[in-house]
Structure formats: C-alpha cells, structure tokens
Structure 1
C-alpha cells in the first residue's frame, strides 16, 4: 500500500508527498487502517490531524460501515472523504458506452482492427511502409509541411480496458492512419493465412464503409476528447477541490452543448440522435457548497459569510466557540478589505487567494480565515500521486532486485519518487551521516 500526504507549505503551496509503502498481509479495511496508523505514528503524526482522505471506489476503501473511510471517520469525524474525481470519471464513461449497443459494437470493431492489423510483424511493417510512402508523397506535393514533431512514425495504439483515455488515443491513431489501415486490411483479405483472418478483414472493411462507423467515429472522438481533457487536468498535484468541481461542471456543460448542436455539425442531415451524456456523481455537496463561498472569482461574487461559518462548524476540532465568534468578525472585515484591494480582484481560485494572503501578510491579520482556506485546499481531489508511486515501483522492482527487503525497497522508491525534495540534500552531508553510522574500513 502506498501512502501520500497532501499539505500546505509555509508559502501556502499545495504539496503532495510520498512517505512510503507498507507491506500488508491482506486488503481488508481493518488491516489497512492499522498499517496507516503505524506509518503515521512512526512519522509523529496521528489520525486526529487528518482533515481529508481520498481513495478509489473499491468497497473496502469507501464502504459506508466497514470501509477504510468509515474506520478513519470513527477516529476523526472531520477527516472528510472525497471519492477520487478521476476514478469517478472512468466508470461514468464505461457505463455510457455499455448503455448503447451501437457504441459498444463500435469499440469492439476498433479493438478487432488493432488485433488484425498488428497481428504480425509483416503487417506492422506494411502499415509503416504505407505511412512512409504517403508522407513522402505529401511532402513532395506540398500537402504536408516539415517541422519539428511533424510526420512522426506511428502505429495503431492498443486501448487499455481500465483507462478510457487510451481509447481516445486509439481513435486518433486510426484517423491518422486510416488510408494505410485500409491497405493492410485489403492485403489480409486477399492473402490472409486462414479463412478466419480473411473473413475478419472483409467484415471490417464492410463496416468501415457503413454510415454507422463514420457517425460513431466522429461522435466518440469529440466526447472522449472532452472527457480526456478533464482527466488530464485532474492529474495536477496542485489542483484544489473547488477548481476540480468547476472543471467537472464545465465538462458537463460542454457535453450538453455537444448534445444540442454538435451532432448537427458532424452530420447535418441527422435528425433523431441517441442521447449520450455524462453526469458525475456528486460527493459531499454540502461541503463543496460551503467551500465555494471562499472563491475569490469575479471579485468574491460567491462570498457568503453564513456558509463559511457553517463550514467552520464542520471542523469542530479546529474552531471552538470562541474561534467561531472571532471568525465571524474576521470574515466581515476580510471581505470588505479584499474587494477594495486591486491585488485581489483578478484571482482565479482559492489556491491563488491563499498564496496571495501569505505574500501580502493578510494571513497574520485574518488567521482564522486563512485556516479555513488551508482546510479547503488540502482536501484530496484525485489519487494520481499514489498511482504514480506504483508506476515507479514497476521500474524499481526488477529481476535484479527481486529479493530486496521492504525497508530497502521503500527507501529506494522514496528517493525515486521525491526527486524534487532530494535535490536540496547535499552529498557531503549524506557522506558525513553515513560515516557516523558505524566504523568504516576507510575514509570516504
């Protein structure tokens, strides 16, 4: 199990730091809870300091009664849970695709195309050769331009079952190589090694000529383009929960606009179209509603002191009765001082607001407002940082390291993941510490 902490540094920049991996005997929620407690304790932390927790949608993590989320909430009821926004997006796209038979059949055909075209080295070579000849003709005729990054050698991209963003890459590669793919399919149709191969190629070519294929190709390209853009933005480490919610709303509005007018642009003659859209599950709507009142956008247009006071009451361990009285006074003065200050009129989000408060010194004059801001920006949005750690683990756990212990593996992974933090460590100090650990045979 990989553990990442999200916090705010002294300059009010949001940081996500990998603190280690833990070997667990099973993935039951109680085992995971005890493992996390040991890691926190070893780093002089505790569950009482947690103000947010984020996981994917597995039942052992987000279960209402016995999940890891519930066990931690029993220890600290202000450790608010956020279902990873990126993981929410994935099942939504999958559910939409499976709901419509035509779309589901379309992606099955696309997968079959990749299997047939990339089934052998001979077919791959033929695909690359056709693409090379096409590019040469385009350059000679002036239809294509030369330049850095242009006309690169490429092939059909195989989509992954658990990452629907990869399906968008598959569609892009197919659209770029469509003419070349037709040549390979014609070759398989005429000279395939078996009757089944020839029939597959013949069936794909017939499907490519259908109205249905062209329609779904352009439709799903535009839909996955929008959801893919959202997915990439959600991977940012400094993303706060209000900005993420705003991106989700923007994507839903863009998809609604595509539903209304996009199909008419693709195929003007289509009148009756299937209804394809997206509706992300809303998590902690009350919490988000209260936090939105802190947004500095449009000169604090959403500022609402009553909602912010309700937000403070949710964090009962951070604001006692006396603090709530002071917070009410600070909020009123803070609002009027900021709307008159030109430095605060063009901010784009609460992260910008919290950093500007630190740089201008306002965090010292309004400490309780600043505390509300910090509690808002440290809420987890996605679990991308944890998944990046597992990606690094695959690179480190090689055949040559297949017998290393958990402690050494953890240290190696920590050095590989947190390269930014380790750049500040001087080599001389590392050697001095190593020399003091135990007697060495010789001077380093």
Structure 2
C-alpha cells in the first residue's frame, strides 16, 4: 500500500505538475491506478522504472518554483525521500517483474478461444517462474536496482532500521535476539513476503483448475487421448461419471463413454488436435457418440475467467431498477439474456418471431 501510494502521489491530478512532467520527460504515458484493473498497476510502475531520474528532476524543479507550501513540501519529499531511497528503487524493480509476468498470463487467459488445458499450462508456468524468481531473483533484481541507483547518483545502501527493545521483566529468561543486516531484513520482510503472497494467492485461486484437470484431463487433447492406456481410460471415464452424478442421475455412462472413446481416437482426423475440434467432429457424426458429445460439451462450457459473470451483474443493475421491483423472475431472465447476448440477438429475424408469438398468444375469440 505504501509503494503504490507513492506511485499515485507522483502522478497526482495536478495539471501544473503534469505539464512539468511533459516538458521534461518524452513519451510519458501513465494510467492512474484502478482497483478493478490489474493492468493499471504495471502501466504505472513501468514509466517510473524506465525514467526514474527524468521524473525526479521535474519534482525538484517544482519544489524550487512553487509558491504553494503544500506542493513544495510534497515535491521535495517525493524527490528526496522516495525516489532517492534505494529501497524504493529496489522495490520498484521487484514489483515490475512480478506485475509484468502476471499481467501477461492474465491477458492471455482472457482470449475468447482460450481452452482450459492451455490455461492450466500457463498458470503452472507462472507459478514455476515465480518460484524460480523467489530462489534466485533477489540478486538479479539487486544488480538492476544498483544500475538505476548509479544513474541517479544515489548510494545503493539499505537503511538501518531503528530496533525497539522491549523492557524485560525480572522473571524472563534472557535469550539472545537474532539480528539481521538491513539487506537481509529487506530480503526476508519485503522480497520474500511479496513473492510468497503472490504464490499463495495463485495456488489458492486456481485449485479448482487442478480438480478440472484430474476429472477432464484425458479429454483435453487428441494426443493425450490417443496415448492413454485402456485401464487408465476406463478409470477416467468412471471417475467422470461419478463427478457428473447428482441425486443418483448422471449425464453420461462411464462404460459407454469408454467404448466410444476407444473407437473415436482411431477415427478422428489428424487435424483435430483441440477439444473444440473433437466436438465439431462429433456434431457431424449425428449422435453416434452420445456420451462423448455430452462430455466434450460440459468440458468446453467450463469458464476460464469470470468476466462473463461480472458482465451479468453489470447488466442486472441496468435492467432491474427500483422502478421494476415487481418484475417476475422469468421476465428478468429473458431480458438479461437478450442484453448479455446482444450480438446473437442482432442476427435474429424479428418478423418470424413476431408471427410465431402472435400465433401462440392469439386471444381473439370466434363467436357463432
């Protein structure tokens, strides 16, 4: 919070300060921080990391020419106590590395044609990269931070923290306290803490993907389906049947799915390498593989991200206002579906729909 608070203070809403930045820094484009857009954080850190010394100079000029005591004090504090603080420079290198990698994977997962198997591989790769960065990234980031500090003319040293010693009671055992160097304290309490928090969040948020892989993993690709042995294939089919069972009823039959997949993996064309390709092939077979068709349909409806749910809630606020408090659930579902699937609705022939609706809801009575 302190780090991004400084970032936000540097690029405040002051038009005078922004004009001074534009006069000193070429190509400066910074987006303000947003609570709902993760990408805004890396976009805010990048300009400062790449042009730290060029951003410090306008702050010094602002402190010299400003007549406002508040602006003068804030500019001096940012230039002298934040940007010239080696720990802030080091933290900027760490945050950029972390945010950049997460942002790449985040944007990749938001693609419309993203498959769950590719998403799982991307997340595993991200976790492995962060684990590697945790083990060996501190020294690499330190070298880069020292290079930035050298360009700015500041000493690459870690500030000594004041240790508050608690008064001991007369009956306490006198144990020796382990003291850490400022560098080691920064590595443990800042670097490792941030990376561990990121790893913990990733592993917790995407545990469900691992369960999906255990259940649907044998259907992810044609290559995996072809090389799985019969015993493992049968076990996977039975496991999938149990996962899709509710109140004693299952969407598929595991034994029949096993027989269908044994035949399917030999009859699929070579160009069918993804799950969507297999489903398109099953559509053409006119219900010859009913269990496989249902299994692949369920697999491909598992959402990779939750953006669609967020859009649904956004639409709900526009549709069900306080003036529509008596709207029925059926009507609300219909209006929400029309609003969310707007692109599909635009392709519908309204004339046929109106004729169908009129024929089914005719209320004119014929008297003899």
TM-score range, shorter chain: 0.5 to 0.7
Identify the residue that residue 354 of structure 1 maps to in structure 2: 279
Shift of the 287–178 alpha-carbon distance from structure 1 to 2, 3 Å rule, reads: closer
- SS of the residue corresponding to residue 158 of structure 1 reads coil
Structure 1 position 343 matched with structure 2 position 271? yes
Could you list the runs of 5+ residues in structure 1 that have no partner in the other structure? 1-103, 135-150, 439-444
Instruction: Between the two structures, name the one with larger relative contact order (CA 8 Å, sep ≥ 6).
Output: 1
**TM-score for both structures, normalised by structure 1:** 0.56
**1:125 counterpart (19, 38, 61):** 19
Q: How does 1:44-443 map to 2 (within 5 A)?
A: 104-115=1-12, 118=13, 120-131=14-25, 134=26, 155-175=29-49, 178=52, 181-206=55-80, 207-268=82-143, 273=187, 274-275=191-192, 276-277=195-196, 278-279=199-200, 280-281=203-204, 282-283=207-208, 285-296=210-221, 298-300=223-225, 303=228, 304-305=232-233, 306-316=235-245, 317-319=249-251, 323-338=253-268, 341-344=269-272, 347=273, 349-359=274-284, 361=285, 364-391=287-314, 405=324, 417-426=340-349
Quote the Cα distance in structure 1 between the aligned partners of 2:15 and 2:126: 40
Quote the Cα distance in structure 2 between the aligned partners of 1:374 and 1:430: 28
- SS of the residue corresponding to residue 293 of structure 1 reads helix
**Structure 1, residues 143-179: CA drift from partner, whole Å, max 9, x if none?**
xxxxxxxx5xx64322123543321121134346645
**Structure 1, residues 211-238: CA drift from partner, whole Å, max 9, x if none?**
2222222221121111112222333455
Quote the Cα distance in structure 2 between the aligned partners of 1:108 and 1:428: 57
Shift of the 413–187 alpha-carbon distance from structure 1 to 2, 3 Å rule, reads: farther
Shift of the 258–301 alpha-carbon distance from structure 1 to 2, 3 Å rule, reads: farther
Quote the Cα distance in structure 1 between the aligned partners of 2:353 and 2:102: 46
Quote the Cα distance in structure 2 between the aligned partners of 1:126 and 1:190: 12
- SS of the residue corresponding to residue 11 of structure 2 reads helix
- SS of the residue corresponding to residue 342 of structure 1 reads coil
Shift of the 423–124 alpha-carbon distance from structure 1 to 2, 3 Å rule, reads: same
- SS of the residue corresponding to residue 156 of structure 1 reads coil
Identify the residue that residue 152 of structure 2 maps to in structure 1: none
Quote the Cα distance in structure 1 between the aligned partners of 2:315 and 2:23: 35
Quote the Cα distance in structure 2 between the aligned partners of 1:159 and 1:239: 27
Quote the Cα distance in structure 2 between the aligned partners of 1:284 and 1:325: 25
Q: Greater share of strand residues, 1 or 2?
A: 1
Whose Rg is larger?
Answer: 2
Could you list the runs of 5+ residues in structure 2 that have no partner in the other structure? 147-182, 363-368
Quote the Cα distance in structure 1 between the aligned partners of 2:63 and 2:113: 51
1:289 Cα deviation after fit:
0.6
CA RMSD of aligned residues (A): 3.9
- SS of the residue corresponding to residue 250 of structure 2 reads coil
Shift of the 416–130 alpha-carbon distance from structure 1 to 2, 3 Å rule, reads: farther
**TM-score for both structures, normalised by structure 2:** 0.65
Quote the Cα distance in structure 2 between the aligned partners of 1:176 and 1:412: 49
Shift of the 126–393 alpha-carbon distance from structure 1 to 2, 3 Å rule, reads: farther
1:291 Cα deviation after fit:
0.9
The alignment covers a number of residue pairs equal to 299
Quote the Cα distance in structure 1 between the aligned partners of 2:306 and 2:83: 39
Q: Greater share of helix residues, 1 or 2?
A: 2
Please tell me whether the aligned partners of residues 188 and 198 of structure 1 are also in contact (alpha carbons under 8 angstroms): yes
